[in-house]
Amino acid sequence: MSKENLIGIILILLITLVMLFYQSSYRVETERNLQPQAKTDTVANDSDKPIKKEIEPIDTTHYEEKLVYVRTDLYEATLSSRGGDIISFNLLKYKDYMGNPVELVRRRKDVPTYRIDANFSDGRITSEEMYLAPDRDTLILSESDSTMEVNFTGTLKNGAGIVRRYEFHYGSYIIHHHLVLVGHKENTINSMKLTLACGTLPTEKNPNAELRYFKGAVLYGDELIKKGLGGKPIEEHFDGVSRYAAVMSKYFALILAPEDKPADASFIYGQKDSLMVFGQILSLPHFQSGLIFNVNKEYFEENDILYFGPQDYFALRKYGRSFEKVVDLGWKTLRPIAVAFLFLFRKLYSVIPNYGVVIIIFSIFVKFLLHPLNIRMLRSMKKMKELEPKVRAIQAQYKDNPQKMNSELMRLYKEHGISPFSGCFPLLLQMPIFFALYQVLSYTIELRASPFILWIKDLSQKDPYIILPILMTITQFIQQKMTTKDPKQMAMVYIMPLVFFFIFMSFPAGLVLYWTTFNILSIITQYFYEKKYWAQEG
């Protein structure tokens, strides 16, 4: 959640609570005066083929760069013989705002995407210095050929042998990567550093607004540490058990995770990087996140899982490696609520394929859950109105003794089973719902680019013509006018809806739709009980 929107939500909470407490205290004072861990998707790990510890030397010192093309049903990728690296990766199921496949990886100034830093006893060798030989140049996967692999083999300048094998799977964003590095007695491997060095790229219509969501992350122990970029470059190291490294944008993520045992350390680097995106040069936050393995022997072998794809919470959770933690669903205490909402949204969407309609149905569902409490609040308001003569009598009797007056008023309210602050409770119960819903509508891939009707093409973005915020303001005004009876409080009836308008106009259209629908339902409920139910009771 951005700082601006967080401030807006807090203002909504504070202003509304102040208004409710003001109304309540006024009554007290004036009326008296709230993929499985073993499997990935349906893809089994077919990496049981052993890689020999004795690698046949291949002279690649002057090797010309060769490219390997990969296509599955989900993405197109290009690999390079220079370092055996992934130099482009485009998602076929997701489009950027210009209608092109989302570009997750692009070679930047010859910086590797998945970088290797091998520290030998006689020095360091990096991916940029490795020229490897691929054993094929094209991989086209299908349902019948659902798993394919490519091997990059070479001999480094210090005589060490290296093999990088990538296994691609049809129907999955998971890639299995296998690395073998063989030194010799005179030149042991001290440590190995594996880095997602490519950063991420913007995909949305307003790339500058999207940049604040770019982050580097590591799962350090069981805690996901995310780092954004402020005004200065960052360089953070974490010594100890590290289960994966990631770089991410608002809706997409690249994750690197050891398949067997965790790494010995991890790190996050971040700095600004100028890049041409959507026809304009942007100063992008460029994050590098990676893992460090202590080796101290002649031989190093590592099996890794790479995930290059959308931040799909339920798909990521299937892998059993806490990948789903990269999805921003808000504070820890509210995260279960957001997950429940997202689950409900997806189920409703499977029946009604329009998330705008789903949000309206969800609003009705929330209103139904809060209905008993709202009716209790309305009844309390009615009783408060009926008690006005007695309240005025107590005020007159104890006008020179405020303490006694307040105690007598509270005794009166207790005798009639009402609370002057009952109007606050429905709001307080709504706040966790509101915060959790904000995260779901703003950050989940399901709501990205989801249209509703006519002018609303994306429920995760603000209403371009502010029509929904205007409707929300009108309904907010009507609702407050129905609930506010005291002429001295009428100023709040006009001020509050305007405050809400300026806050909500920058919120996701889906969130404004929810609030507007809830207001309309509240108006209908209050009208029904005032004109029908109360008349029968009276």
Mean pLDDT in each 10-residue stretch from start to end of the chain (538 residues)?
Answer: 51 49 42 37 44 52 82 96 92 91 82 88 86 93 94 88 95 95 84 91 83 92 90 91 94 94 94 82 89 92 95 92 92 89 93 94 86 69 72 78 79 72 63 84 87 89 91 88 64 79 88 91 80 55
For the stretch 246-305, pLDDT in tens is 999 999 999 999 998 999 999 999 998 888 877 788 888 889 999 999 999 888 999 999
Q: Report whether 285 contacts 272 (CB < 8 A).
A: yes
Task: Give the tokens for residue 34.
Answer: 């709230």
Compute how many other C-beta atoms are within 10 angstroms of the C-beta atom of residue 85: 26
Q: How much is the pLDDT for 70? A: 97
Local structure of residue 531 (DSSP, 8 states): I
Q: How much is the pLDDT for 61? A: 54
User: What is the strand order of the sheet 138-140 is part of?
Assistant: 101-106, 85-95, 75-80, 67-71, 138-140
Domains and CATH numbers, the chain: 3-32+342-537 (no CATH), 67-325 (2.70.98.90)
Q: Which residues on neighbouring strands pair with residue 194, listed in sequence order?
A: 116, 291
102: three-class secondary structure by DSSP: strand
- For residues 456 and 468, give the distance between their C-alpha atoms in angstroms, rounded to a whole number: 9
131: three-class secondary structure by DSSP: strand
In terms of Cα–Cα distance, which of 228, 249, 205, 306 is closest to 104?
A: 249
Task: Give the tokens for residue 172.
Answer: 């999955």
Q: How much is the pLDDT for 194? A: 95
Q: Report whether 509 contacts 462 (CB < 8 A).
A: yes
For the stretch 486-536, pLDDT in tens is 555 666 777 888 888 888 888 889 989 998 998 898 888 877 776 665 555
- For residues 262 and 242, give the distance between their C-alpha atoms in angstroms, rounded to a whole number: 6
Q: Report whether 492 contacts 476 (CB < 8 A).
A: no
Q: How much is the pLDDT for 454? A: 85
- For residues 246 and 107, give the distance between their C-alpha atoms in angstroms, rounded to a whole number: 17
For residue 226, count CB atoms less than 10 angstroms from its CB and return exposed for 0-12, middle for 13-18, buried for 19 or more. Answer: middle
> Taking the CA atoms of the chain, what radius of gyration do you get in angstroms?
30
User: What are residue 103's phi and psi, to 5 degrees?
Assistant: -100, 105
Longest dimension (CA), the chain: 103
Q: How much is the pLDDT for 139? A: 96
Task: Give the tokens for residue 127.
Answer: 């991916």
Q: How much is the pLDDT for 288? A: 93
Angle, CA 500 vertex, CA 530 and CA 429 arms, to 5°: 60
Local structure of residue 135 (DSSP, 8 states): S
pTM, 2 dp: 0.80
Q: Report whether 386 contacts 485 (CB < 8 A).
A: no
- For residues 291 and 242, give the distance between their C-alpha atoms in angstroms, rounded to a whole number: 7
- For residues 538 and 536, give the distance between their C-alpha atoms in angstroms, rounded to a whole number: 5
Residues in the chain: 538
- For residues 51 and 182, give the distance between their C-alpha atoms in angstroms, rounded to a whole number: 11
For the stretch 420-434, pLDDT in tens is 665 566 667 678 888
The H or E element containing residue 57 is: none
For residue 123, count CB atoms less than 10 angstroms from its CB and return exposed for 0-12, middle for 13-18, buried for 19 or more. Answer: exposed
Q: How much is the pLDDT for 210? A: 84
In terms of Cα–Cα distance, which of 453, 446, 207 is closest to 342?
A: 446
User: What are residue 389's phi and psi, to 5 degrees?
Assistant: -60, -45
User: What are residue 46's phi and psi, to 5 degrees?
Assistant: -95, 35
Q: How much is the pLDDT for 488? A: 58
Q: How much is the pLDDT for 507? A: 87
Q: How much is the pLDDT for 428? A: 72
